A and B are shown apart, each in its own frame.
Chain A
Amino acid sequence: MAREKFQTLTEPMFYILLTLREECCGTDIMTRVSALTRGRVDLGPGTLYNLLDSFQQAGIIRETAVEGRKRSYLITDKGRETLRAEYRRLLALTEDYKTCVGEEDLK
């Protein structure tokens, strides 16, 4: 069920998992995603909290440390596979675009 749920990832999901290739806490995730996307993707704290909870329940990430209210997380092997699958899907989309439209159109 969980695999089905995260078969395709939304932008916030994708960037959270990308960020969690290194252990970090929730507030760091918000900062890093914003920096990585140059402010294009903003993660609301409510959205982040619920996604971290769902990822944890699906075994895609795991909690690594708790310091007071601060909790740190890291991606799991299953999470890496989910991320890779999304990357392959995005590549396939890109290839399809190139096949149909060609790169010229982007210029």
Chain B
Amino acid sequence: MKNVAYRWNTFQLYDYRGVEEHLSAMAAQGWRLEKAGVTFWKYRRAEPASLRYAVTYNAGASRFEPGPTEGEQSLEELCAAAGWEKVSDCSKMQIYSTEDPAAVPLETDEALRLENIHRCMRKSFLPGNIAVLLLMLFIGRDFFLALVTWDLYGMLKNNALLTAGVLCLAEAALQLCLLAGYFLWRRRSRRSVEEGGTCLPVGCGSRWASLGMWVLLVLLVAVFLLSELDRGHRGAVLYFAVYMAFFTLINILMRGTTALLRKKGASKTSNIAWTLAVDVVLCFTLIGGLIWSRYETDWFSDERPTGETYEYRDQNWDVSPRQDFPLTLAELTGEEYGHVRREAEDLGSVFIPQRAYRETALLGDGPKVCGLGYTLWDLSSPALQESLLEDLLEDDPIKFRSMTLFTLRYVPEDPVPWGAEAAYRRYYDEDPGDSWLLVWPGRAASVSPDAEPSDAQKALISARLAPEDWKEETT
């Protein structure tokens, strides 16, 4: 039979009544609180007892202080004289218990209790909540902007962006709810106290909201990882796993540093400075190193060759080029190439699948090469198609140090030779480029051959890249 139990702490700092009732109920079931941590509370088995728990607040308490402060000691002394024994503390929340049913309550002035709670909230929790809210708004700014302007493609174009965006949105909403919940509770409690009553119960809303947030986080991350694995993005999954492991490790080491320094009797200032220094160093080395390795190594890369390659003319070529390309360079040009390299990559999201193909071939015996690239988007609804086109057809100024070098833009051209519903050619300012955007119902394709295709080549491109429904309709 286990003698120790842990419970995830979902109580808000100001929910003193919820904490008191919960701890009394636990004591009645034979579990006494041993330590109230920020994340988990530890309980130890004991004889079931009718214990009274009470919470008071000490605005001067800090987890960086070496042991109990003078204020905490004075408070303990006063409580002991009134028959209350200190059980634990969680930040500024001080938890006491007594077996004496007639002991004077810790707080006998509700107005003062309310004022004191607000002082504690203002000192640590409100700035923390507001900081998290601002951080979420900053991290998810692209997603929020897309949401506000109802840019469907902007919201759904990428799995990672979508997952992070929804999480940021949910977390920002949670922080807003927590802030609103506190101020609403404070306003109602103040009214109650002014009318001679007590501070009001907090209710379970904030606890359920926090729990809901965690459930959403786990579900979204699971969906994201499974979706990435399904598309063969093992590198992205590995990167995410290592990132989360480092993040957890940094958190544990930071808390460990604070606890160790506190145990060693370091001053509050010194504790904060060292904890901050450890945090910065760890973030720089672990997270910075991870980001560096993503760009400088192939540890998290998915673009590993799928088959055997050989080197010729300082380049790698496929021994057996993949055969799953809807259109190959040889088919388009009618030429035979001795040295070919083909790469395909799944991009986009579960809502907007996007697959990019790239083929490179050596012209004759080299050294010149030619290439063909195309990207296909499958769009399940006209709204998504409209949103994608709006995004792709927008003028794209290419800048260097705030100076516009040229503007990339798509200009409509006759779609008939392309066998498409709409066709656009990309221009660099006024100069036409060799890149086209073709649109069919339910699909869009951007095609980049090395030169302007003939009408026969355009028809071939359409025959290979257009959706089956369209081909059946038009034949």
Within 8 A of A (CB), among B108-151: 108-109, 111-113, 116
Contacting pair B71 A45 (CB below 8 A): no
Q: Which residues of A contact B245 (CB under 8 A)?
A: none
CA distance A12 to B112 in the complex (A): 10
CA distance A6 to B57 in the complex (A): 21
**Binary interface profile of A, 53-96, with partner B (CB < 8 Å = 1, else 0)?**
10000000000000001110000000000000000000000000
Contacting pair A69 B74 (CB below 8 A): yes
Does B306 touch A at the CB level, under 8 Å? no
Does B78 touch A at the CB level, under 8 Å? yes
Does A7 touch B at the CB level, under 8 Å? no
Chain B, Cβ-Cβ closest to A31:
B81
CA distance A44 to B108 in the complex (A): 5
**Binary interface profile of B, 312-347, with partner A (CB < 8 Å = 1, else 0)?**
000000000000000000000000000000000000
Within 8 A of A (CB), among B47-105: 54, 56-58, 60, 71, 73-79, 81-82, 84, 94, 104-105
Determine the interface band of chain A, counting residues with CB < 8 A from chain B.
10 to 19
Does A103 touch B at the CB level, under 8 Å? no
Q: Which residues of B contact A42 (CB under 8 A)?
A: 104-105, 108
CA distance A91 to B401 in the complex (A): 77
Q: Which residues of A contact B104 (CB under 8 A)?
A: 30, 42-45
Does A50 touch B at the CB level, under 8 Å? yes
Does B213 touch A at the CB level, under 8 Å? no
- Contacts A43-B104, A50-B112 known; A71 to B74 CB distance under 8 Å? yes
Contacting pair A26 B74 (CB below 8 A): yes
Give the A-B contact count at a CB cut-off of 8 A: 74
Q: Would you give the shortest CB distance from B47 to chain A, in whole angstroms? A: 27
Chain A, Cβ-Cβ closest to B79:
A45
Contacting pair A53 B78 (CB below 8 A): no
Does A46 touch B at the CB level, under 8 Å? yes
Q: Which residues of B contact A43 (CB under 8 A)?
A: 104, 108
Q: Which of B54, B74, B111 touches A49 (beta carbons < 8 Å)?
A: B74
Contacting pair A27 B77 (CB below 8 A): yes
Q: Which residues of A contact B386 (CB under 8 A)?
A: none
Contacting pair B82 A44 (CB below 8 A): yes
Does B106 touch A at the CB level, under 8 Å? yes
- Contacts A27-B81, A30-B81, A30-B82 known; A47 to B109 CB distance under 8 Å? yes
Contacting pair A12 B74 (CB below 8 A): no
Contacting pair B77 A47 (CB below 8 A): no
Chain A, Cβ-Cβ closest to B119:
A50
Contacting pair B75 A45 (CB below 8 A): yes
Q: Would you give the shortest CB distance from A73 to chain B, in whole angstroms? A: 11
Q: Would you give the shortest CB distance from A11 to chain B, in whole angstroms? A: 9
Contacting pair B78 A26 (CB below 8 A): yes
Contacting pair A51 B112 (CB below 8 A): yes
> Which of A10, A43, A44, A53 has the most chain B CB within a 10 Å cutoff?
A44
Does A18 touch B at the CB level, under 8 Å? no
CA distance A82 to B195 in the complex (A): 25
Q: Which of B60, B73, B82 touches A45 (beta carbons < 8 Å)?
A: B82
Q: Which residues of A contact B116 (CB under 8 A)?
A: 50
Q: Would you give the shortest CB distance from B6 to chain A, in whole angstroms? A: 27
Identify the B interface with A (CB < 8 A). 54, 56-58, 60, 71, 73-79, 81-82, 84, 94, 104-109, 111-113, 116
Given A43-B104, A50-B112, output 16 extra A-B contacts at Cβ < 8 Å.
Answer: A10-B111, A26-B81, A30-B81, A42-B104, A42-B108, A44-B82, A45-B75, A45-B84, A46-B54, A46-B56, A46-B94, A46-B107, A49-B56, A49-B78, A53-B71, A71-B74
Q: Give 10 closest A-B pairs by Cβ, nearest first.
A: A46-B56, A45-B78, A44-B108, A46-B106, A27-B81, A69-B77, A45-B79, A47-B109, A69-B73, A45-B82
